[in-house]
Structures are given as C-alpha cells and as structure tokens.
Amino acid sequence: GAGVSQSPSNKVTEKGKDVELRCDPISGHTALYWYRQSLGQGLEFLIYFQGNSAPDKSGLPSDRFSAERTGGSVSTLTIQRTQQEDSAVYLCASTPRLGRGNTDTQYFGPGTRLTVL
C-alpha cells in the first residue's frame, strides 16, 4: 500500500522504560506531523517536520519526548522514562506541502496504541 504506515500497532511497556514509535510517510511527502489522541480528547499536536528539520516542536509535552526524521522520510518518536499518563494513541500524518497555504490534506497512519503499565 502507498499510505502512511506506523509501527508497532500496539506497544505495552512498563513505567520508566523508553519506547520508540516509527512512522513511514507517503513517498514524496515533505511534511510530517505527530499527534497524540487520548481517550475522550481530540488530536493533540506534538511536532511538525518539513523535510528533516522540525520548525515546530511546541507540542511536545516534556523533555522526555523527542522526535527525529532522516532522509526526509521515516520519523521516530521517542518517549523516555514512560509514565502512565503517556498512554494514548500516537498518530502520524504526512502532507505533500506542494505550496504555501494550510489546506493540504493530512494523510494519517493507523496509529500506535501505547499502554504504560
């Protein structure tokens, strides 16, 4: 398939452990977003990449959260010393960002469900 893929689909970890979540965007899409979706909440913006740079990291909840993107493609979201409140679905989206403006369609992956025990 040519859609956004994320792995793993589910991750159960113990409090205090580190986790890495992976996102493979649609080929050729230059912009990539990470969101967090908690039960009963909307999508919470975490970080935005344009190419390999992250001009907006303002949504990262704490310094335990970090993300990188390599080769303008795959992105990894890392959560260190996980806490129970980190439990949520982490969604990745990509857009072509063909030009200026903000009405690009965001293509979402299926998400990674993270459970911290």
Partner 1 sequence: TQLLEQSPQFLSIQEGENLTVYCNSSSVFSSLQWYRQEPGEGPVLLVTVVTGGEVKKLKRLTFQFGDARKDSSLHITAAQPGDTGLYLCAGARGSNYKLTFGKGTLLTVNP
Q: Is residue 99 involved in binding partner 1 (CB under 8 A)?
A: no
Q: At residue 4, what is the residue type?
A: V
Q: Is residue 31 involved in binding partner 1 (CB under 8 A)?
A: yes
C-alpha to C-alpha distance for 49 and 15, rounded to whole angstroms: 28
C-alpha to C-alpha distance for 23 and 98, rounded to whole angstroms: 20
Q: Closer to partner 1 at the Cβ: 82 or 109?
A: 109
Residue 68, classed as helix, strand or coil, is strand
Q: Is residue 100 involved in binding partner 1 (CB under 8 A)?
A: yes
Return the half-sphere exposure (C-beta side, CA atoms, 13 A cut-off) of residue 36. 17
The single residue among 2, 27, 41, 84 that binds partner 1, judged by CB under 8 A, is 41
Q: Is residue 43 involved in binding partner 1 (CB under 8 A)?
A: yes
Residue numbers at the binding site for partner 1 (CB under 8 A): 4, 31, 35, 40-45, 48, 56, 91, 93, 97, 100-106, 108-111
